[in-house]
Structure 1
């Protein structure tokens, strides 16, 4: 009886201890990362950023209920919540109201919207580097002023027409960037509080005074984004000489577009990019409708780097281009001034600023403005590429470099002989070993 009572008391004690341990585990957490290179934890740079944030962070994930995408996102955000508990995560099912999702520009299952300090930013793919850098940009409280040149039929930053960039202007506003129209008259100058001037495809030639004001802005160390189009005649030859960049004649067409379902040959899709701070780690496809190729002038006064480049099957077409759905009859003619690809469609320019602060002066020239328009902003990675472009031009690109902490032993390289030996061992050796062990046990038991 004493032995039974002792065993019963011991069992009750074990159950009570387990219950207490379970209760304490809900109040206190202990986490140990034993993975190679600590890849299951945040990098020290991300942890330092989270500790510097003073307010709450809201994360909305537009992930469907099917599959395990929500679980993956929740586990990812949990790493950040372990360092900063006031990060709130909320899921919205995009399939519940597809029209509302399209209106908000949500086109990727699992897309994230991060909000902090009254500003927000979107992410289309999940990684620690992208998530931490989005938080870093949102934590910078200064409001940038971007002046869009107006008065000559340019794209409006607040317009709703298909050719305008109103949707991108809203994205800039969410990130703390104020887009304002800029009308330059005779003798006028760009205001001193302007951080960036954007020339978005003027429809008529600009007055000489306006061009002179733009050249003065560049010579004074200002930042500039010039969006041009094939055959555009905006009277900006003087500006092109200052930037050491010019647009080539013709419209770039790409024969590789048909392989990915693009019916219009004048739509150039790019998924690989020349190395630059703007394109580092960028994996989305950028779509440029009817772009002009660019060339660098001989006597360059800038450090000119390409950031957009067409493929080997592209060329600059000087003739008429059939519309989408029409039979494609164009072909490269080497007897004309047409140039075979790869062709540069975007340049990033930098040099030492002439201003007293001696900072880096930045400018960019893109051979297309449609990729930021309301009609094409949602295609591929156009929105994200435009966001990267503006961040760089506004010198808002001091990003967190998360080191590669992949496991060093994720792959095993075996020769054909080693693979054959392993296969022979599993198919012949292991069954023979089991048969031999069984026979040995049978023989020993029979002799007893």
Structure 2
């Protein structure tokens, strides 16, 4: 009788375990969006901008991947994976794959690269993304993939018809655009048309200029240029100024007057923070964020930015143009006022220096709460060699998005993912082999044999 009861219990327990396993399998299969990203930099987690874009996407979008025998497998795999993630979050996205060689009649309708092409189509609108543009490298073991960034921006652009024209001032030894290609590319992907403007040659500010940028000027504006700038800004014109250290800044008149239109003053002092971080020099500042739309998401995501040779700023109230501080140093920083000593490599703190905390960035609005200007004490973070560090790129693009009243462009964007294939050493391979092929099966045999032996004796 006891044997029969034990046998029955064993059968019931086995059926219960099998039933639980089946139910759990069905549940996990039904929750397709349930996933855990265990990578160090969350490289498989979609960004805030992507999730918001997919949430607000209200039109049917057809994604088509065209590949051939010339398409590297690593490219095809990454593209398909990222598109599948988009599909999970919006049912209006339809995805099809075509082989150029076996389906040439479909490929002939589009501008296709045999190495791989992703077409984003919605109604009469179409965007073509080439696989090679979404990869920094095509190595099978080590490459950078920015497909999310490209695809998300393509979806955003489906709703945009007109481009925003902005001009970067030249002629005063500003930071050249060819040293800010990543920022420029980011702006162009967000439907900005970027141009360069030399007022001495053109003699006027173009009528289509919706914002004027002065980045890292090393010499002052002329009186004639200042007159043109005032006329432009008295209308609907907007201004973006990012200063940088210059040996001539002590003699500036017109740049100071330009900032003074909005109550902003540059203090002829370079911010130095000797205890800011052991990873950077005292001349590199890791600013603290003020409370503002431009910086709030960076603050929440703990994404820092950096400035080198940043100029301390102050602001005085101006009735028509209220300003808000968005960047500042810690109270341990100070403003070096002896620029001659600084140029010679000296950074000794003196009584004449400005005590911290120092303000390094302001935004200016009109009395109607419309964005008018962005004024920053530093511009080095915009260069190609450092804009990719933590929050630099997002801050740069967010500040422009705020200035142009494009709230959907004030966000945390997709980041380029460094993909590395898992490398297993010889010792690790042996451990995996013995563990999976020998140890675990042996363990089950021992447990099973023990149970069988005890039942037989009992």
For residue 342 of structure 1, report the CA deviation from its aligned partner. 2.0
CA distance in 1, matches of 2:211, 2:313: 22
Aligned residue number for residue 304 of structure 2 = 285
In the alignment, which of 200, 204, 223 is matched to residue 215 of structure 2? 200
Is 1:79 aligned to residue 88 of structure 2? yes
Alignment check: 8 A CA contact 2:398 2:411 kept: no
Change (3 A) 1:94 1:169: closer
Aligned residue number for residue 194 of structure 2 = 179
For residue 55 of structure 1, report the CA deviation from its aligned partner. 5.0
CA distance in 2, matches of 1:31, 1:247: 56
Where 1:281 maps in the other structure, the secondary structure is: helix
Alignment check: 8 A CA contact 1:57 1:116 kept: no
For residue 168 of structure 1, report the CA deviation from its aligned partner. 1.8
For residue 393 of structure 1, report the CA deviation from its aligned partner. 1.4
Alignment check: 8 A CA contact 1:156 1:166 kept: no
Aligned residue number for residue 322 of structure 2 = 303
CA distance in 2, matches of 1:44, 1:381: 19
For residue 258 of structure 1, report the CA deviation from its aligned partner. 3.4
Aligned residue number for residue 267 of structure 2 = 248
Change (3 A) 1:400 1:305: closer
Change (3 A) 1:44 1:112: closer
Report the TM-score, using the length of structure 1 for normalisation.
Answer: 0.60
Is 1:372 aligned to residue 382 of structure 2? yes
CA distance in 2, matches of 1:382, 1:268: 12
For residue 383 of structure 1, report the CA deviation from its aligned partner. 1.5
Is 1:258 aligned to residue 267 of structure 2? no
CA distance in 2, matches of 1:351, 1:227: 20
CA distance in 1, matches of 2:201, 2:53: 50
CA distance in 2, matches of 1:235, 1:54: 51
Map 1:422-437 onto structure 2 (within 5 A). Answer: none
Q: Deviations over 1:255-296 (max 9, x none)?
A: 23333x11x2100113x4111111121131111011001100
Change (3 A) 1:267 1:85: same
In the alignment, which of 241, 244, 266 is matched to residue 226 of structure 1? 241
Map 1:3-402 onto structure 2 (within 5 A). Answer: 49-52=56-59, 54-56=61-63, 77=86, 79-82=88-91, 84-86=93-95, 97=139, 113-116=148-151, 135-136=155-156, 139-157=159-177, 159=178, 164-185=179-200, 188-231=203-246, 232=249, 233=252, 235-259=254-278, 261-262=279-280, 264-270=281-287, 272-282=288-298, 283-319=302-338, 320-321=341-342, 330-333=347-350, 335-336=351-352, 338-352=353-367, 360-398=370-408
Change (3 A) 1:256 1:244: same
Change (3 A) 1:138 1:245: farther
CA distance in 2, matches of 1:96, 1:186: 44
For structure 1, the residue ranges without an aligned partner over 5 or more in a row are: 1-20, 35-41, 59-64, 121-134, 354-358, 403-448
For residue 224 of structure 1, report the CA deviation from its aligned partner. 0.8
Q: Deviations over 1:68-123 (max 9, x none)?
A: x99x989964532545233999998989649995xxxx5xxx86633359x55xxx
Give the helix-richer structure, 1 or 2: 2
For residue 203 of structure 1, report the CA deviation from its aligned partner. 2.5
Q: Tell me the C-alpha RMSD between the 2 structures.
A: 4.4
For structure 2, the residue ranges without an aligned partner over 5 or more in a row are: 1-21, 35-47, 66-73, 98-117, 119-130, 413-458
Alignment check: 8 A CA contact 2:62 2:94 kept: no
For residue 368 of structure 1, report the CA deviation from its aligned partner. 1.0
For residue 298 of structure 1, report the CA deviation from its aligned partner. 4.3
CA distance in 2, matches of 1:375, 1:203: 20
CA distance in 1, matches of 2:220, 2:260: 17
Aligned residue number for residue 122 of structure 2 = none
Q: Deviations over 1:212-249 (max 9, x none)?
A: 11111111121110111235336323212212101112
Change (3 A) 1:299 1:196: closer
Q: Deviations over 1:380-438 (max 9, x none)?
A: 32112111111111221146999xxxxxxxxxxxxxxxxxxxxxxxxxxxxxxxxxxxx
Where 2:406 maps in the other structure, the secondary structure is: coil
